[in-house]
Amino acid sequence: MEIDRGGMFRDFSKLGRSIGCSPVASANALSMGDCVDKGYQMKHSSDTDEFIVNADVMTYVFKRKL
């Protein structure tokens, strides 16, 4: 993932703010509405219960943490 030392995504420049993430958090939130409104492609796969987000440079897949 493209994150800085503070655990913030650097790959969502169009959102105009830092987005935090943590592998130890019980949930990480990314607004689907904000992403779509700013031009990021985002889709949900109900078969695998994953969100796929095309950010500035990379594609991210968010899925359940087991």
25-35 pLDDT, tens digit per residue, is 666 677 888 88
Please state the three-class secondary structure of the chain as a single string.
CCECCCCEECCCHHHCCCEECCCCCCCCCCCHHHHHHCCCEEEEECCCCEEEEECCCCEEEEECCC
44-66 pLDDT, tens digit per residue, is 988 988 889 999 998 988 877 66
pTM of the model: 0.68
Site of tokens 């935090």: 20
